[in-house]
Amino acid sequence: MRKAVRRKQRGLYFAGAETAAVLFACVLFAGALSGCQADRAMTLEWKESGAQGEAGGGEDARTDGAKEGLPGDGAETVEARIFVHVCGAVRDQGLKELPAGSRVFDALELAGGFAEDADEAAVNLAGFLKDGQQLYFPAVGEQVQSAAAEGKLDLNQADEAALRSLPGIGESRAKAICQYRREHGDFTKVEELMQVPGIKEAIYLQIKDLVTVQ
C-alpha cells in the first residue's frame, strides 16, 4: 500500500517536473520569438530610415548637381561689338572697338578726347554709334566737306535751330526730331523721318530733298 502511494507521488512529481519543464521551455521560446520579432522590427526600421536617408541624400546631391549645372552658370557671355572710325580733331584718331549701343562720347573717350582746336559743339555727343560708322570731329572754323556743304542738312548732326530752317518744321517738330534721335539713335535713312511724331507724308515730301543722313 505504501509502495503504491510512493509510486503515485513519484509519478505526480515527475509529471509536474515535466510540465514545469515544458512550460519553462515555452516561456523561453516565446521570449526568443519576441526578441527576434523586435530585432526584425528594429532592423526593418533601420533599413527604411537608411533608405530614406540615401534617397534624401541622393535628392540633395541631384539638387546640388542641378544647381551647379544651371544654364549660364560659369558660361561666358559674348558681348556684341562694333567698330567705328574716329577722325578729325581728336587726340588719337583711328579705328575704335566698342560695345554695341555705345554713344559718340564713348568713342571720343577712346580717342583721347578733343584736340585743342576741336569745335566741341559741332558733334552731338549723345548720338548712338553704328557699326562701320566714320565719326568726324571738325576743328573750330573748319568747313566740312559733306552733304551739308552741298546744301543738304544732316539729320544726325543738325540741332534744333538748323532743323527749324526746313519748310514745315517749327519749334515743336524740331524738338520731336531731336528727341527721336536721342531715344532711337541716329537716322539710318531719310524716310525714317515719317516715324517722328508730328511729321506726316506731306511734311516729308517738302523736306526730303533738303536733308540727308550720314
In this predicted structure, the answer to whether residue 109 has a pLDDT above a threshold of 90 is: yes
Nearest Cα neighbor of 143 from 129, 122, 116 is 122
34: helix, strand or coil: helix
Can you tell me the mean pLDDT for 135-148?
Answer: 70
Give the model's confidence band at 17: pLDDT under 50 very low, under 70 low, under 90 confident, else very high.
Answer: low
Task: Indicate the helix (H) or strand (E) that contains 86.
Answer: strand 81-88
pLDDT score at 40: 53
- The secondary structure of residue 195, as a DSSP letter, is G
| Cβ atoms 176, 164 nearer than 8 A | no
Q: What is the mean pLDDT of residues 107-117?
A: 95
Confidence check: pLDDT of 173 > 50: yes
C-alpha cell at 122: 559741332
CA angle at residue 172 from 171 to 178, to 5 degrees? Answer: 90
Q: Cβ(90)–Cβ(113) under 8 Å?
A: yes
Task: State mean pLDDT over 89-107.
Answer: 94
Q: pTM above the 0.85 mark?
A: no
The pLDDT of residue 158 is 85
Identify which of 165, 152, 155, 167 has the alpha carbon closest to the alpha carbon of residue 195: 155
In sequence order, what are the beta bridge partners of 94? 86
Residues in the chain: 214
